[in-house]
Amino acid sequence: MYIQDLAKEYLTKTDEELLQLAANSEQLTSDANTALTNELAKRRVNVAERVKVFRDEEKKRRDEPLANRGAQPPSDSHRVGPFVTEVLHVYHNQFWLFVKLIAPAVIVGYIAVVIGRHEVQEIARHLPRGVEALEHKTEMVEMFLVNQIEYLVSWLAFCISFGAICSAVQQIETGMTPSFQNSFAAVRQKTRSFLRLSLLLYFILLPAVVAASLLFWGVVWFARQRHVHLSHFTIQLVSFTIIGLALLVFSRFGLAMPAFILDSCGVAQAMFRSDELTENKWLTLAALLAKSLVGGYVAGMCPFWVASWIPASVSLPVWFPWVLRVASVAAVIVVEPPMFIGFALLYIRMSATSSETIAPWRGVPVSPPPPSFTT
């Protein structure tokens, strides 16, 4: 953003919004600081005194242990339905922005999975069938590592988009005009800490998924021992239910990313903050997860289900499978943003409810400036 554009943007802000930016001037570029200083000078605002008050209050809130912050966040005092409606309203108003923010993650994740599966199939092609394959330990380890790499690449891609969506939601909430570049700028500024948080979340999720997989196979084994026949639909339903419950427990840490991006919390503090704010919010978390898991699965499979209705006698062009893949990816891109928007919006709402630190000049929760002025 050029300095002239910044000057025009600052011109529309209130004194309080400009002071909030000035209190975190180290996060702004030199051009942004210049434009901000000029605008405050034009308005003859006493910056030093009011910014000092802001920073003292913010430091007090940051240093105060979570356990001593007074009242815990309320339970699902807001009905899930209206909250989800609000999330969809935010998504609808900035549809193309959120599509552009999530699209790189979905595309990178899809490519990583396709390449990973191809490599695993190539390794497995040279292995014997059945139990004898377990004797080839090197190849088994290679397949395991390939799978983990593809999942990790996909995970990091989605974390980056999640961070950008958090930034975009905060810009929208503060009445600013969000942009693609400025949303990703919030992630670029904290690359190392961001990677630490993303990897920590991944290595917390991994054992949860493994435990869910073991539980699923335990259910299948128990059914066979009881001579109970499980249909394909039943197996899928059980699998989705168990994985969904594991992800629901993991989602207690889903607000760590917005805490890190929006309030500059450290990695550990962001994790504890998320756990604190999601207490008794199971219904909201479940609604957001269901919309992503069920909606994403249906959206991704829908083109293939429709194609299955085409009679076998119809001759299809060689490029038709690629059309289905592109349609599948596009459908997932459209469906996925609400979950990430919901986590970001839930953090903003719950932080405003639980925070005891109030900006003295506006009576609103203290928070760092939106990252829309950092590029």
Q: What is the pLDDT of residue 47?
A: 65
Give the pLDDT confidence score for residue 228 in this predicted structure: 83
Buried b (16+ CB within 10 A) or exposed e, 76-96: eebebeebbeebeebbeebee
Tell me the two tokens of residue 289: 């997860």
pLDDT at residue 347 in the model: 93
CA distance 80 to 99: 24
pLDDT surpassing 70 at residue 1 = no
Residue 231: beta bridge partners? none
Say what the pLDDT of residue 55 is.
Answer: 62
pLDDT (0 to 100) of residue 22: 74
Contact (CB, 8 A) for 67 and 41: no
What's the token pair of residue 184? 């990703």
**Phi then psi dihedrals of residue 136, to 5 deg:** -90, 75
The band of 363, judged by pLDDT with boundaries at 50, 70 and 90, is very low
As a whole number of angstroms, the distance between CA 353 and CA 267 comes to 22
Of residues 103 and 366, more confidence is placed in: 103
What token pair was written down for 208? Answer: 């949860």
- In terms of Cβ atoms closer than 10 Å to its own Cβ (0-12, 13-18, 19+), residue 186 is buried
Please state, in angstroms and rounded to a whole number, the distance separating the CA atoms of residues 139 and 29. 50
Which residues, at least 6 apart from 323, have a Cβ–Cβ distance to it below 8 Å? 303
Mean predicted lDDT score pLDDT of the chain? 80
Please state, in angstroms and rounded to a whole number, the distance separating the CA atoms of residues 108 and 180: 17
DSSP state of 315: P
C-alpha 85/C-alpha 72 separation (Å) is 25
pLDDT tens-place string over residues 245-273 = 888 999 999 999 999 999 888 999 999 99
Q: What is the pLDDT of residue 71?
A: 45
236 versus 304: which is more confidently predicted? 304
Q: What would the pLDDT profile of 308-317 be if each residue is shown by its tens digit?
A: 898 888 888 8
Helices (H), the chain: 3-11, 15-22, 30-43, 47-63, 80-93, 95-124, 137-173, 180-188, 191-225, 232-250, 256-263, 267-277, 282-307, 320-335, 337-354
The predicted model scores a pTM of 0.71
Per-residue pLDDT at 122: 84
Exposure b/e, 259-272, CB count within 10 A at least 16 = b: bbbbbbbebebbbb
Residue 218 has pLDDT above 50, yes or no: yes
Q: What is the pLDDT of residues 124-176, one digit of tens each?
A: 887 777 666 667 778 778 888 888 898 999 999 999 999 999 999 998 888 78
Answer left, alpha or beta for residue 273, where phi above 0 means left and psi between -120 and 50 means alpha.
Answer: alpha
Judge contact between 144 and 178, C-beta under 8 A: no
CA torsion sign, 88 to 274 to 178 to 186? negative
Lowest-confidence pick of 8-17, 226-235, 317-326: 8-17
**pLDDT, tens digit, 9 for 90 and up, residues 271-294:** 999 999 998 889 999 999 888 888
Q: Is 123 helix (H, G, I), strand (E, B) or coil?
A: helix
pLDDT (tens digit per residue) in 56-101: 666 665 555 544 444 444 445 447 888 889 999 999 999 999 999 9
In angstroms, the CA 332 to CA 60 distance is 43
- Reference 20, options 374, 366, 375; nearest CA is 366
